[in-house]
Structure 1
């Protein structure tokens, strides 16, 4: 008899100052569950896990960004790991479905979920773009279940633990915001498949108080840095030139400059077949 599906996935939640939102989402997570406290000072983690003996808390002395997920994955003892932030959670049955896919398809490193946003469960537009991607449909035995993809949204993703660790997880050059791109490229270069499966569902309830303009600048910064680390030089330079076209873009480019040396140390252009697939998706828009 095989291992029950609900024993195959650990959920890793990273939080930094999650406040009341962490308290609201924590009851929606099932065990095994690891909370990585990314240098919080608001006491929200203690309040959120009170009375739950099935939660392991890993406390970090400071905020290390997306790399905190690496800590959670390393601490997990299951073959698959689901990510969540303090404002996201998994729909009932979603983790079992993702675990079955990863168990039955040894070439799949990552299952990206359909995301429903806010109290109204609005479809995240990124998911529509994944489903309409020019890459091949992905089949799960009885028919098309989704689509091959070249990217993902971390808080709505289930990964194969050993593939994630061998790819190095998330990196401290990018730190946070858009951190998924480099990891996706490395998994694809290693021969893994990434799939978007609409019947695996995650919920995301981002709070409006968060600084969207600052995040946009981080996305520009990290897009440039990721291209510097993994893409051909014309792509990296093209992203830098494109950033000059707006004030926020220039701010993102300026923020990238202090990290360029660290990025160059990690430069390892992707395999040609991966670059071709990425170029196809980028032309598609």
Structure 2
């Protein structure tokens, strides 16, 4: 399942690659693109014997677009891609076998290889060395974070947790879903046998804008689920950053506008999940 916006050429290439290297159906969710993304994928779909479905959204819903893709899926497991990432051919079968063998696992995070350097992503190494360890009842290290472009979910677990939050929109949206799935009793695991390839697009926001959105969403996630002392600390970090540049100032203003929605949906994590987060942070 791919959620995309305004990257027609890259999106088309990824869809064709997935059709050529896997047997999976492909769902493309278009976040109200202004280019010819929908037409480009529909041309591919016309030659794909029903394997490609396009879901068109009438607004840019960011990461929430993936919720629509999961809802449209007829399969029990859904592999996320971005329009600049794809899966190794054996990944779907490995994921299916793992999920079948471990019915309490709700998400598998893959080992990610970054192109063109052909190097393992640093975050993959962090997941492999998770301070939460490798419990014997799980297929890999327990985790509380993942990259959306390199994760495969159990559909029922994803939907029980509410999917990605519209409050966060995009960037750093994974943590809230991870803790919500864990709070419901689902396990999240790093699975190095799963391999995702990522060739970062050149069509993206500036590094500063991305960093500001990540910090904004870290603050919002903290306010949605964490103790008050953590909320105050995170807010202070964002406010300090807002004095540094316009991107962080914009992110702080966006966070303030979301406060009413955050307060309506705030709920504390179970103690066991909060303790796990504190262990990660201390490490």
Equivalenced residue count is 270
Work out whether 1:261 is the aligned partner of 2:254: no
Could you tell me how far 1:149 is from its partner in structure 2? 0.3
Work out whether 1:150 is the aligned partner of 2:109: no
Preserved CA contact (<8 Å) 2:130 2:141:
yes
Q: Which segments of 5 or more consecutive residues in structure 1 lack a partner in the other structure?
A: 1-11
Q: Which residue does the alignment assign to 1:34?
A: 27
Q: Which residue does the alignment assign to 1:221?
A: 216
Q: What whole-Å deviation, never above 9, does each CA across 1:142-163 have from its counterpart, x for those lacking one?
A: xxx5311011111110001011
Q: Which residue does the alignment assign to 1:276?
A: 275
Q: Secondary structure at the match of 1:147?
A: coil
Work out whether 1:235 is the aligned partner of 2:201: no
Q: How far, CA to CA, are the matches of 2:37 and 2:69 in structure 1?
A: 18
Q: Which segments of 5 or more consecutive residues in structure 2 lack a partner in the other structure?
A: none
TM-score, normalised to structure 2's length? 0.91
Work out whether 1:170 is the aligned partner of 2:169: no
Preserved CA contact (<8 Å) 1:224 1:240:
yes
Preserved CA contact (<8 Å) 1:138 1:195:
no
Match of 2:106 among 89, 103, 109: 109
Q: How far, CA to CA, are the matches of 2:40 and 2:203 in structure 1?
A: 22
Q: How far, CA to CA, are the matches of 1:37 and 1:251 in structure 2?
A: 26
Residue pairs, 1:1-285, within 5 angstroms: 12-29=1-18, 30=22, 31-50=24-43, 51-52=47-48, 53-139=50-136, 146-210=140-204, 211-246=206-241, 247-248=244-245, 249-284=248-283
Q: How far, CA to CA, are the matches of 2:229 and 2:92 in structure 1?
A: 40
Q: How far, CA to CA, are the matches of 2:257 and 2:74 in structure 1?
A: 37
Q: How far, CA to CA, are the matches of 1:224 and 1:112 in structure 2?
A: 24
The 3 A distance-change label for structure 1 pair 138 and 155 is farther
Aligned-pair Cα RMSD in Å: 1.6
Could you tell me how far 1:208 is from its partner in structure 2? 3.5
TM-score, normalised to structure 1's length? 0.90
